[in-house]
Amino acid sequence: MDIHEILDHLPHRYPFLLIDRVVEVVPGKSIHAYKNVTINEPFFVGHFPHHPVMPGVLIMEALAQAAGILSFKTEGKKPTESDVFYFAGIDEARFKRPVMPGDQLHLHVEIERQMRGIWKFKGEARVDGQLAAEARLMCAKRDL
């Protein structure tokens, strides 16, 4: 999926859109997407000026955005102004290495289960094949 299709499947926009490309999506199973991390990211101004590191919460958000695309692709529809996915929980989050400008953050998310609007995922974020972060994510689909 290129950026135009990503924008069709996520309500997020700059500066909060954290997916640049979807490499592969298998509806009902998994997604592989990535984020090109550049020094121009607005968060690097303050995190940290002397040693820029992508905040862990934004790595989790990138995984959640990938999960959102996977959810909509699994349902065979696109988001509307009347529905949204919210974070409902993050478990077993671990950060293994810093993510810095110049890195390509590969996001791998698998559906663990889905029931009555609650989705559970297992996510990994990798840089150069090395695990940067991992977590189990829970999201809830709600009508506005």
| Cα–Cα distance for residue pair 63/99, rounded to 1 Å | 14
What are the distances in angstroms from CA 12 to CA 28, 43, 96, 126?
22, 16, 27, 22
Residue 12 annotated among the catalytic residues of the structure = no
Q: Which of 47, 50, 51, 106 is catalytic?
A: 47
Q: What is the number of residues in the chain?
A: 144
DSSP 47: S
User: How far is Cα 62 from Cα 65, in angstroms, rounded to an integer?
Assistant: 5
CB 19 within 8 A of CB 66: yes
72 phi, psi to nearest 5 deg: -65, -40
Catalytic positions, please? 47
